[in-house]
Amino acid sequence: MNKKNWICLSLSLLCCDQLVKAMIRASLNYGKKWTIIPKFFAITHVENQGGAFSIFSTMPWIFILISGAVCLFLLIYLWKNTLSLGKTISLVLVLSGALGNFIDRLFLGAVTDYLALTFGSYAFPVFNLADTFVVLGLFSYLGIELWRDKNGNRSY
């Protein structure tokens, strides 16, 4: 994938993330919930100053620094290296998600989360599209790196 294409893909994903977050903030009061599938899936508006499970919520500047460094590293890495299509898309997903949450932290002071999943009595921490991009990107990149054909050769 050439530079123009991965930049367009990343910006498109970033715009989707920011648009959905803006719609949540505009249409759903903080803390309110819209049940989609009872006892399984809901849209709820929360703001998270920390990371997953609200860790380090009293030190949001840590996540501004970390996500800023990750974004800068990925931009430089993608710009300077020619990677397979799978690896490029995987890293673009991570970049887009990291940028989406970085923008929230930098300009809003917290990340807007809204996807709430419940499994029985366990309520998974509320997350957003950017988080989904990061997780999908990391898992797909690791899958590409670890996948080997029947002869033990990397196949990507």
What HEC string does the chain produce? CCHHHHHHHHHHHHHHHHHHHHHHHHHCCCCCEEEEECCCEEEEEEEECCCHHHCCCCCHHHHHHHHHHHHHHHHHHHHHCCCCHHHHHHHHHHHHHHHHHHHHHHHHCCEEEEEEEEECCEECCCECHHHHHHHHHHHHHHHHHHCECCCCCECC
Catalytic residue among 17, 104, 113, 149: 113
Active site residue 149: no
Catalytic residue among 17, 104, 131, 149: 131
Active site residue 104: no
Active site residue ranges = 113, 131
